[in-house]
Amino acid sequence: MTRFAFSIHARCGQARTGTIAMRRGEIRTPAFMPVGTAATVKAMRSHEVRAAGADIILGNTYHLMLRPTAERIARLGGLHRFMGWNRPILTDSGGYQVMSLSALTRSSEDGVTFASHLDGSRHLMSPERSMEIQRLLGSDIVMAFDELVALPAPREAVDAAMQRSMRWAARSRAAFDAGGDHAAGAALFGIQQGGLDERLRAESATALRAIGFDGYAIGGLAVGEGQTAMFGVLDYACDQLPDTAPRYLMGVGKPDDIVGAVCRGVDMFDCVLPTRSGRNGQGFTHDGPLNLRNASHAEDLRPLDGDCLCPVCHGPEAVSRAYLHHLIKAGEMLGAMLLTQHNIGFYQQLMAGLRTAIAAGRLGDFAAGFLARYNARVAR
């Protein structure tokens, strides 16, 4: 049984394509992980997510610990069985939710005490508790517990959060390793912090390498700094992390973000954008995002994206922009379902195109062509 093995098959510039082998299956990289916050990729069934091309999904530690609780999921056989997904699952540590709910939290060296957004009940999230929750869920890739700050922020605040995150990373490592059978079959990723500061990022990477992890996430980005600043960090952050381990850019992002990050050496991504946008009437296409609420689509018989191979755009059950516009305007849940299915399929086709281009040594041409077309028109 393979616990975790990362193989790089081809490189093109800084980018690489390969596979992560785990006991529940292989993950082709670069990979995009649809987000299943509450044990569901919203508006989709598990078999549809797999059919779209996803090898792995992400579950949310914070939300699942509150409802239905990690302990209940464990009693019911674990997260995979609970939601009917038999392939790898990565669970985040809860650190991002702690930051986003900062008005309800109090941080200390022990961890973060927070009030539930559901009922106000008080909880302590620590590195040890985060590892326990992820073990109860039965996740395949476990994320170390970290502290991050929204950008922009004073350097002193970014430094303090990074230093604490590295102390928590060591505690996460120890708690994960004490996890018995789960630790023997799962992997643990550390999270680099340091904001937009190259020296802090280097210090964080050195600390993580000394502890030792199966993979390394680039954290603390996509929190308000903008694409230019994010790419500036990726220009050096990837090289600070081990070349032989996967690099995971957390919470990213838009299709053009992903293409730029892959060109800089990132292997894994997650983001709520394709599902959230689908629920709000937006579909991603090769010609940029489309707002299906707009009246211009009311009598448009074209598919959402003529170059997309998802069932919404292609095949016997394909539908028109006019039909999608009608569903969204009428408030029919099918509209959100179809747009989400398309968006997840579009993202997975983008990742497949990136993998093929890297393997063929033509990533530069692929990226330039995709970005020129995608950015040619503004969102409408």
- Could you list the active site residues? 92, 270
Q: Tokens standing for 53?
A: 């091309």
Q: Tell me the C-alpha distance between 130 and 150, whole Å.
A: 21
Q: Tell me the C-alpha distance between 262 and 251, whole Å.
A: 14
Q: How far apart are the first and last CA of the chain?
A: 49
Q: Tell me the C-alpha distance between 261 and 249, whole Å.
A: 8
- Tell me the β-bridge partners of 36: 59
What's 40's DSSP letter? S
E strands, 67-184, in order: 89-91, 105-107, 112-115, 122-125, 141-143
Residue with structure tokens 């699952």? 89
Please give the angle made by the CA atoms of 206, 149 and 66, to the nearest 5 degrees: 105
Q: Tokens standing for 270?
A: 């997650």
Strands 15-22 and 25-29, bridge-based pairing: antiparallel
DSSP 296-365: GGTT--S-S-TT--STTTSSTT---HHHHHHHHHHT-HHHHHHHHHHHHHHHHHHHHHHHHHHHHT-HHH
Contact yes or no for 62/91 (Cβ under 8 A): no
Contact yes or no for 93/130 (Cβ under 8 A): yes
Give the residue among 231, 233, 271, 264 at the shortest CA–CA distance from 250: 271
Q: Tell me the C-alpha distance between 144 and 170, whole Å.
A: 9
Q: Tell me the C-alpha distance between 64 and 137, whole Å.
A: 9
